[in-house]
Amino acid sequence: MKIAIVTGASSGLGREFALQISARYGKLDEIWVIARRKERLEQLADMIRIPVKVIDMDVTDLKQVDAFKKELEDIKPDVRILVNAAGYGKIGRFEELDLEEQLQMVNLNCIALTRFTGLVLPYMKKGRIINIASSAAFSPQANFAVYAASKAYVLSFSRGIGAELSDRGITVTAVCPGPVETEFFDVAGDSFKNLKMAKPDDVVYRALSDAAAGFDVSVYGITMKAARAAAKVIPHKLIVNAFKKL
C-alpha cells in the first residue's frame, strides 16, 4: 500500500500539503493525516479525493507515538512521502517567555520531527521527506531565539540525512518560508503581522515542485531568497541586532 504521511495536517501548511499531495499524486492508495484536532482532520478528509486515514494524536506523546509505531509494524505500508509539518513558534525575549512552553517548542519542532523521521524511514524504499523549517533557520534571531534555533536544527538535520539517503532514492527537502498566512501568528504573537505574507498554497506548490526536482532546500519568493543569500554574507551579529531593534 503506497501512502503519504502528513503531520500537523489540521491547519496551515500541513493541511495544504495534504490537499496538494492528493491532487498531485493520485496513484497513492491512502494519505495518513496526523494532528490533535480530530474534527479538523475529518473535515480535511472530506475534501480529499483519495482514501484518508485520520490519526488524531499528539506527536510529542510517547504513548501515542508507540501506538503509531505498532500500526506501522502491523500494516507495513510503502511510504512514498513524509511531510513533517507539526510545529509552532513564540515571539519574545527568552527570559520573558514561559520556559516550559519553549522547551515544548524544541520537543515538537526538533525531537518529534526527528523521531517521526526515524520511525517512518524503515518503510520507505524510495520517495520524499519534506521537513518544514523556516527562513528563521538562516541565522540566529533575537526575540525569536528558540524558534530560530529549532528551525536551524531542522535545516541542518534535513541536509545531513539527505546526503545519507540519496543512494536509497530518498530525497529530503527542508522548506524555509518567510511569514505565511496561517494560524502560526495566533500562537507566536503578532509582532510580524504587518509583514507581507505568502499564501500557503503557493509555498506548498513550490515545495512539492522543489522536492520532485531533488532540491535539498525550498525557498518561496524573491524576498526570502534574498534573505537566504544575505545570511550567507552578512555577519550574523548584525542580523541578530537588527531583529533586537524590531
Question: CA dist 105 to 40, 65, 157, Å?
Answer: 22, 17, 17
What single DSSP character describes residue 17?
Answer: H
**Which amino acid, residue 170?**
I
With contact defined as beta carbons under 8 Å apart, do 33 and 55 qualify?
yes
Residue whose grid cell is 517548542 = 105
3-state secondary structure 207-233: HHHHHHCCCCEECCCHHHHHHHHHHHH
Contact 132, 154 (CB under 8 A): yes
Q: Which of 25, 88, 123, 147 does the annotation list as catalytic? A: 147
Alpha-carbon distance of 46 to 74, in angstroms, equals 26
88 is catalytic: no
H/E stretch holding 117? helix 113-120
Q: List CB contacts of 188: < 8 A, sequence separation 6 or more.
A: 88, 89, 90, 91, 147
Tell me the catalytic residues: 147
